[in-house]
Amino acid sequence: MNPQARRWKCVCAYDGTDYSGWQSQVSGNAIQDLIEGALEETLGNPSRIHGSGRTDAGVHAKGQVFHFDASWKHGGESLRKALCTRLPQDIRVLDARVCPSSFHARISAKGKRYLYRAIEGSASPMEFRYWASLPVHRLDLDAMRMAATVLVGERDFSSFSASSGDSCDENPVKNLWQLDVRRTGKRLKIQVEGSGFLYKMVRSLCGALFDVGRGRLEVHQVKEILDAKKRTSLVVTAAPQGLCLEKVFYRKVKFRR
């Protein structure tokens, strides 16, 4: 690292509808690509950013975190504004501040919160980007909540990962702190918190709960799927547009704006 460079921690939000996910792609149409492009324009040289984790194509974020090293001489608010002027309106940097060189957006993370939104029926034209449509009249919320209790805790979530096997070094044991299902009218929200998540794990958990609510899966089957520690066709991945990364949790450290 350049001895004059400082480490910057940034929080960003984005509407993932028109992008191929967070992680850099050959197409250049990933959130990471757009932010790195804005950084290069701002700093005058390329800078690699490191995110707290990936979000899939179509998935949104309110609190994605990334870090990078740069010798920016001005304050964090000046950097935030400079980046926002170079980014499309559906990608916003919310906060930028100097952090300890030991901070790492992914490695230092202690947990994450996701929120999945769905509507029983069809989402309106004003909502379909952020709410998944469920072609049912009424889900069995009690059954969904019973299934959720089976999944909470420290478990091997291999059965709810869509990994193709190329990330075998990732520990499939995660601690799921919360899997809360709520309904308001025809709107359902599933709040998920945990120490970490496997590839497409949150969408797979939500897909399984929706199938329990539809009567396609029984609560005991969810436990059997979990205990099998192997992906099965019974687990359906929920649509991406309903999912949003709400917050990344870190231990308290001192940051400078």
- Domain of 142, CATH number, reads 3.30.70.660
Give the tokens for residue 122.
Answer: 């069809």
> CATH number, domain at 69?
3.30.70.580
Name the catalytic one among 15, 18, 33, 56.
Answer: 56
Structural domain contains residue 177: yes
d(CA 236, CA 188): 18
Q: Which domain holds residue 159?
A: 110-246
Co-location of 32 and 74 in the same domain: yes
As a whole number, mean pLDDT of residues 31-49 equals: 96
- H or E element at residue 142: helix 141-151
Question: For residues 61 and 193, what is the distance between their CA atoms, to the nearest angstrom?
Answer: 15
Total domain count, the chain: 2
Structural domain ending residue among the three candidates 72, 107, 142: 107
172 and 204 housed in the same domain: yes
Q: Which of 51, 73, 107 is the last residue of a domain?
A: 107
The pLDDT, as a whole number, for residue 170 is 81
Separation of alpha carbons 190 and 114, rounded Å: 8
Q: Answer yes or no: is pLDDT of 166 > 50.
A: no
Query: Cα(16)–Cα(148) distance, rounded to whole angstroms?
Result: 27
Residues 155, 89 share a domain: no
Q: pTM for the complete prediction?
A: 0.94
Q: Identify whether 254 is part of a domain.
A: no
pLDDT at 137: 81
Q: 1 lies in a domain?
A: no
Among residues 10, 6, 58, the alpha carbon closest in space to that of 30 is found at 58
Q: Residue 194 has which token pair? A: 């945990």
pLDDT digits (tens, 9 = 90+) for 182-219: 999 999 999 999 999 999 999 999 999 999 999 999 99
Do 150 and 64 lie in one domain? The reply is no
| Residue 167, pLDDT score | 47
Residue 154 resides in a domain? yes
Statement to judge: residues 12 and 117 lie in one domain: no
CB-based contacts of 106: which residues, under 8 Å, 6+ apart? 50, 51, 52, 53
In the chain, the percentage of residues whose pLDDT exceeds 70 is 95
* pLDDT confidence bin for 165, thresholds 50/70/90: very low
Q: Residue 73 half-sphere exposure, CB side, CA atoms within 13 Å?
A: 1
56 annotated active-site: yes
Question: Has residue 88 been placed in a domain?
Answer: yes
Both 140 and 35 in one domain: the answer is no
User: For residue 189, how many other CB atoms are within 10 A of its CB?
Assistant: 15
Is residue 146 within 8 A of residue 221, CB to CB? The reply is no
Chain centroid, CA 247 distance in Å: 8
How high is the pLDDT of residue 253?
A: 61
